[in-house]
Amino acid sequence: GNSVTQMEGPVTLSEEAFLTINCTYTATGYPSLFWYVQYPGEGLQLLLKATKADDKGSNKGFEATYRKETTSFHLEKGSVQVSDSAVYFCALNAGGGADGLTFGKGTHLIIQP
């Protein structure tokens, strides 16, 4: 079956540090890959996505590249801010259409000033 594995948290960094949150997946076919962010008390919001191999998704300074050879979609940001503190979920859509998502467990990111 399909699965997503992401690094466990919490991850605590100082402001302006470099961020990497690892995500690897198992899926049949060619899934679409996503990173969602959940701020306290809010619903999940799409942060970025990639739909095919070697695509790079980017948004708000965050980037992730779809690596088919390593089945990975690691999230990176060059300089984090306190406002980036949230829970980050890696997810995949194996069907490519109006299908439910398979999520990782989420990584709680804490940025200290």
Give me the residues paired with residue 21 across strands. Answer: 75
Beta strands (DSSP E) in the chain are 3-6, 11-14, 19-21, 23-26, 32-38, 45-50, 56-59, 62-65, 75-77, 86-93, 102-103, 107-112
Q: Widest CA span of the chain, in angstroms? A: 43
Instruction: Determine, following the binding rule CB under 8 A, whether residue 46 of this chain makes contact with other proteins.
Output: yes
Instruction: Determine, following the binding rule CB under 8 A, whether residue 97 of this chain makes contact with other proteins.
Output: yes
Residue 46 or 53: the one with the smaller Cβ distance to other proteins is 46
Which among 52-60, 67-75, 78-86, 91-99 is the span making contact with other proteins, rule CB under 8 A? 91-99
Instruction: Determine, following the binding rule CB under 8 A, whether residue 31 of this chain makes contact with other proteins.
Output: no
Least separation, in Å, of the C-beta of 54 and other proteins?
20
Binding site for other proteins (CB under 8 A): 4, 36, 41-46, 89, 93, 97-106
